[in-house]
Chains A and B, each alone.
Chain A
């Protein structure tokens, strides 16, 4: 329950040892490929890549499938929106409900794309510790001229690691509040709106309080948001360069051949 989205699975595979920047870039390239994929053959190729990479990572496939579960409602919604709202040849018509063949195809296409997007991202999160992802992102965006919009890459990194750090606490807190309200007879079956707000309101209030406390604690320790040294110094190794080279070749092939 605690590790909903960032379910890191410790391991010793090639993928685990890659630099987080390499993996981040690879996921970015993969998402570009995924959103360009239209034909069935392209989607199958992407699926093949996923199976191979997941196999190399040594992480159980069920872990990746589990990461789809929180999004399943979104997938269903997405599919039906396409199915019913696309223009085209109707499959059948009942009143204003008229699913189309075109809708069926784009619906499947778009849903599959999102599923692959999450699957590839879950390889990243399963093989990389959240702190490493954060420092990877921090290092990648450091050259950007962020200071003109009033933040530094270190600010963003701190925000990210704080949010990741507090996800388990948020769940704990939600559980605690839920028990308290259940003791007062709250039952989601009775009055769903009131039950929901009886958990959500205290949860938001306490989260706000915690955020304020942390801000004060950070200020009293002189947090500046300027350059901070990291416990995890990132270092590109040979394997990283080889993987990046492989990705570049694939991108070039894709651009010139298709």
Chain B
């Protein structure tokens, strides 16, 4: 079970003077048990790439297969839950319940099963079931984002894709989101996060994809990434590498502040 992307090219404004190539010869396999981060500069093609995963965009060349079925097949849209940037801007229903029930009911889920899914998704994103009758527009910004996430989770997607989910979030919000995503991943769904904030991505994912100017320049585990790629790396890794080059005995693959803190503390107590 996997998403397979083979020799994919994609251009905007095809057959016009404004034609721009945004993806070039992408080859990538994402297995269902993976927790994937896609990173790269703004305009590197990350967001375009994920729109191919559920068939919103169809590649000019090559193919995208989800569990061996072409991504443009309507059935794959149910399997691949895609949450866009600023998801609170897509809310439209009168109540939180209707908002979350929108996606599953579009895929034919009814009755008790639907109610159960709504409550389950609310629970997964850490919201109280009591808010189901409230208007989503009465909620706080953070809660609206979580309702939007719950709205996609209620589809029970086998692949959950999030585009810049942490943009505009504070540190507490980010931590909560990532712990929610880890929980969702542990229920057996594949989670794919698109973000240019590599500091947040590297510590949590087990596969990282680097995009640059429409081409995929790296795909592998975070430790392989640190061995092969010198930039971009998280700031804390950069700091520790700097210390190492000055002769301090610290590792060059530090990813978290806690890890760095432990190592620096070790150095200081040894002296």
Q: Of the candidates A179, A191, A202, which one forms a contact with B89 in the assembled complex, judged by CB atoms under 8 Å apart?
A: A202
From the candidates A177, A185, A197, A206, name the one contacting B78 in the complex (CB within 8 A): A185
Chain B residues within 8 Å of A229, by CB: none
Q: Tell me if A72 is interfacial: C-beta within 8 Å of chain B.
A: no
Q: What DSSP secondary structure best describes chain A's contact surface?
A: helix
**Given A179-B56, A184-B152, A185-B77; A190-B106 close (CB under 8 Å):** yes
B41 to chain A, nearest CB (A): 20
Interface status of B51 (Cβ within 8 A of chain A): yes
Please tell me if B40 contacts chain A, counting CB pairs below 8 Å. no
Check if B216 is an interface residue, CB within 8 A of chain A. Answer: no
Query: Whole-angstrom distance from the CB of B94 to the nearest CB of chain A?
Result: 10
Contact check: which of A181, A187, A194 meets B90 at CB < 8 Å?
A: A181
A184 to B121, alpha carbons, bound, how many Å? 14
Nearest-CB residue, chain A, relative to B77: A185
Per-residue A-contact encoding for B55-67, CB less than 8 Å = 1, 0 else: 0100000000000
By secondary structure, the B interface counts as helix
- Check B87–A180 contact: CB distance below 8 A: yes
Size of A's binding interface in residues, CB under 8 A = 22
B155 touches A185 (CB 8 A): yes
Contact A183 B81 (CB under 8 A): yes
* B77 adjacent to A183 (CB under 8 Å): yes
> Interface residue count for B (Cβ, 8 Å)?
24
**A185, A187, A197: which contacts B92 (Cβ < 8 A)?**
A197
Shortest C-beta distance, A239 to chain B (Å), equals 31
Q: How far is the CB of A167 from chain B (nearest CB, A)?
A: 18
Rounded to whole Å, the gap between the CB of A77 and the closest CB of chain B is 29
B35 within 8 A of A: no
Decide yes or no whether A129 CB sits under 8 A from chain B. no
| Also in contact, A182 and B56, with CB within 8 A (given A176-B84, A190-B106) | yes
- Check B151 for interface membership: any CB of A closer than 8 A: yes
Interface residues, chain A, with chain B CB atoms under 8 Å away: 176-177, 179-187, 190-191, 194, 197-202, 205-206
- A sample of 21 inter-chain contacts (CB < 8 A) reads A179-B56, A179-B84, A180-B84, A180-B90, A183-B54, A183-B80, A183-B81, A183-B83, A183-B152, A185-B102, A185-B103, A186-B102, A190-B106, A194-B102, A198-B90, A198-B92, A198-B102, A199-B92, A201-B92, A202-B89, A205-B137
What 3 A-B pairs come out closest when comparing CB atoms? A185-B106, A201-B92, A184-B103
User: With A182-B77, A184-B103 given, can you name 15 additional A-B contacts, CB distance below 8 Å?
Assistant: A179-B84, A180-B82, A180-B90, A183-B77, A183-B83, A184-B102, A184-B106, A184-B151, A184-B155, A185-B77, A185-B102, A190-B106, A194-B102, A197-B92, A202-B92
